[in-house]
Amino acid sequence: MNRRSSFFRKVIYGVIIAMLLFPLSLLSAPATVDSKGGKLAQLRAENGLSQAGLGEIDPASETIKLATLGLRGLAVQFLWNNANYYKKVEDWTNLTATLEQLAKLQPNFVTFWKYQSWNLSYNVSVEFDDYHDRYFWVRRGIQFLEDGLDYNRDNPHLEWEHGWVLGQKVGRADEKVQYRRLFKADDEYHPKDRTPADRDNWLVSKKAYLEAVRSVDELGKSLDKKSPAIFYSSAPKSQMNYAEAIEDEGLFDTAVAAWKVAQQDWREFGNIPIEHSTGKILIFNDQQYLNEEVERLTVKLEGIVDGLREKVEAEARENLTPEQEAVLEIPPAELDEKQSQLYYEAQNAMEVTPEKLAAKAGELEPSKAREAREVAAELREKETLVRYIRNYKDTTNYDYWALRTEFEQSTAAVSARTLLYRARRLFLEEGDTVQAKELYEEAFERWADVFEEFPALTNQDGTTGDDVMVFIYEYQDVLEQLDESIPEDFPLWDIIEKFDSEQKLQIPLREHLQRVRAEGGASTDEAAGEQPAPSAEEEAPESAEADSEASEAGEADGESGSTDGIEQPAKSDADAT
């Protein structure tokens, strides 16, 4: 009986297993060329969980992974060591072969594609003397990223990196003139349907950035730790870089049209909702509206009780300690460390905040306490949004580039750049210093008109002043060859005063300022009590170096570094041109 029962149970189990095979086969059937496969295969494809969802399936890659018999990590380490060695001994053929083997073992390791692209474009390319050879390895690095995108479709980090290298390495290198020319003529690289006008490296870069934006906005891919402000500003900035590049090449009519497109792109970027690290949504172009709201709410809150602000300020002043009151009478520059702390505490105590206004209003008029709290909360919210927007706009230098796209289309700016282009060619290529001098001076008159129409361009945050200084230095070289000096009626003395970072013109500037003082005038900086920077021939006072802060636009998402010993080139914020 027991044997029979055991036999029947086995038969039943066997029948159940056989019955389950059919639904399991329907659920787990793999996808084929003619079929989408079972339900599980379809779900993997829909949610991007399968290899097919990530990118191209390479049979050779899968075979190599299986051939390592579970020792893929050791094989990868071995190949990385080989790659380092081949680079060190400049064996580029074996280096390329080793990288291809690594790609087979690590097709979905995004950092590998990013890092080795940088290695080829930046580290390997500089080992060659001829710029044609250097360009070959720059392009190889770009194509290496494109290979990575085949294995990792719609990956916004690789797509963004692709845009960066296309723009910055081709368009910012010392050999950018040669690289841009070779890139446009590179029939092997460009697809056949890409027109000659679209072969500019900055336009191809912009297209790559837009692909990254599509992957995030339409396909829901994650930015991870990438700054959204930097991410979304990259495509418009490539358009600006394109406009600037063709401007330098003398294509001024085309450049004006390009700046117009850049202005529209930048305005659209300013309307994109950007998520702050706190979760708040920021729209850059809302800042003016929010500033008006802050002003309106401030007036409304202070008007709840007559003389409310004055009462809060008077009460705060009464609560100061004698020591705090005393330090408020001392100029901040003369405070010692202890006094500075007291000064800071006194300033905080004297600050009139929405919360203090609301509390005082509730104390004076209890019936209006709720209204005061509500207005104060709304005011604080708007102030916070303004502060966040201002900080994020500073990351991309938003206001400057909005102004740049506007003034570059002005008649005065186009005229100035046209004249400078002609003057530079006469001076550097033809050696005609007399006519070059006349053109430079006419161009500087036009630049004076530009700075008068757009005074914000003289702020240190932008690059326009530095750009103009390059031409002023060239003008000084012209004058030296003619045994002349910068004339007293030179229209851009204030630009020299603010932007002569190389201090090449400090002596003529000082002489100019002395003449201004003798005539009863004063320069802008001296009127504020500032002295011009010392000349290179004079001993400058000791001063601490100003710290420079790396822009996130110049980082490779924090992932491109590696411990394999290959030099990692640093990115600059050249994306902000």
Q: Given phi > 0 = left and psi -120 to 50 = alpha, else beta, which region is 545?
A: beta
Per-residue pLDDT of the chain (577 residues; tens, 9 = 90+): 567 777 778 778 788 887 877 777 667 666 665 667 777 767 766 665 555 444 444 444 545 554 555 566 777 788 888 888 888 888 878 887 888 778 777 788 888 888 889 888 998 898 899 999 999 999 999 999 999 998 898 999 999 999 999 999 999 999 999 999 999 999 999 999 999 999 999 999 999 999 999 999 999 999 988 999 999 999 999 999 999 999 999 999 999 999 999 999 999 999 999 999 899 999 999 999 999 999 999 999 999 999 999 999 999 888 888 888 888 888 888 888 888 898 898 888 889 999 999 999 999 999 999 999 999 999 999 999 999 999 999 999 999 999 999 999 999 999 999 999 999 999 988 999 999 999 999 999 999 999 999 999 998 878 899 999 999 999 999 999 999 999 999 999 999 999 998 889 998 899 888 888 887 654 444 444 444 444 333 333 333 333 333 344 444 333 333 333 344 444 444 344 4
Maximal C-alpha separation, the chain: 126
275: phi then psi, degrees, rounded to nearest 5? -85, 125
Q: How confident is the model over 270-287, as pLDDT tens digits?
A: 999 999 989 999 999 999
As separate numbers, helices (DSSP H) first and strands (DSSP E) second, the chain gives 27, 2
Whole-angstrom distance, CA of residue 11 vs CA of residue 27: 25
CB 54 within 8 A of CB 158: no
Helices (H), 221-307: 228-248, 252-270, 287-302
Q: What is the pLDDT of residues 512-536, one digit of tens each?
A: 888 888 876 544 444 444 444 443 3
Residues forming a β-bridge with 293: none
Q: Residue 528 to residues 32, 334, 503, 505, 532: CA-CA distances in angstroms?
A: 77, 18, 20, 21, 11
Q: For the chain, report the end-to-end CA distance as a whole number of angstroms.
A: 89
Task: Measure the CA–CA gap between 572 and 550, rounded to whole angstroms.
Answer: 7
pTM above 0.95, yes or no: no
